[in-house]
Amino acid sequence: MRVVSGIQPTGNLHLGNYLGAIRNWVAMQETMECLFFLADLHAISVAHVPGELSANTREMTAALVACGIDPDRSVLFNQSQVPLHAELQWLLNGTARMGWLNRMTQWKDKAGKNREGQSVALFTYPVLQAADVLLYQATHVPVGEDQKQHLELARDIAQKFNNDFASEEAPVFTLPDPIIPPEAARIMSLRDGSAKMSKSDPSDMSRINLTDDADAIMAKVKKAKTDPEPLPSEKAGLEGRAEAANLVGIYAAMAGTGVEAVLADFGGKGFGAFKPALGELLVDKLSPINARFVELRQDREALDAILAKGASKGGELGRRTLDRAYAQLGLGRGGTPHRGSIQPLFRRHAIRHDRVKPEGSAGNGQGPRGSWR
């Protein structure tokens, strides 16, 4: 099994990221071949500050390693260091359909009523997501419920490409299956049990950051929104109590137990007893991560080396798939399509660009003004 998954470098990881994705990534390293990447190409689909993006990429790398992602066992890299992702996205743009992208729920949510004002990158974001996993022949992709539609699109693109340009006996792309974590896949805000815990929430009190120290964690848990009723003794009693259910779910996930077991211990007790216990559990589990993160984030050279090593490995793993995609499309990279009569191009009569002075150039090798290179 080969697993591929990515996360945007939009700032520090929080508890929702850790329980919903990262902790599962760490466990997957034990039994699967894993590639994890920082999706910095996805990050430029919306307004961003370049200096912050590069800093956040390093910080996220430090956080992932602190959480247990091992660069010696998994391939860890930032997307922009492997240009094959962007190349494959362009090839897949010819297969993806406007109607498919228009139906993407996240596109509708993010674009809102100002679709005409959004970037093309935001609209084609799911095609880059497809390229991210298809490039490496991923067999499985960890996804939350909100990303299932995008993985289904990746499968549709892969299937159509295989049907149109390859054969059933020798498909270009593997159709990946989803891995949906069975527990704690969705951690909610500490201030609103109906909203997902998010970095974009303006209130820092809504989330537990993995960079929070013990005092900050205890303060946030103490001020977390709850209701006046004691905890029930059975899971059914949490229905209609979103905030209570969220805190109990967090406790269960951090303790490695079930909601029923938590309620067996705390049923009938108020939040005055439960919140301190939850805070202490979070501090106990997260403090080692925080300490390791603080140490790692100060070593910029080491973080850059981790990303460069992963990018080199990622490029090696993805090259064969990209070359096959070019060949099957009949594009000139010296390969032969698996079927059809198109012959390799640009092999015998390659132009020596260093001997040609482009019209309109100043002889400086930069090509005509306004050209794309």
Which residues are catalytic, by number? 110, 196, 199
Can you read off the two tokens belonging to residue 95?
């297969």
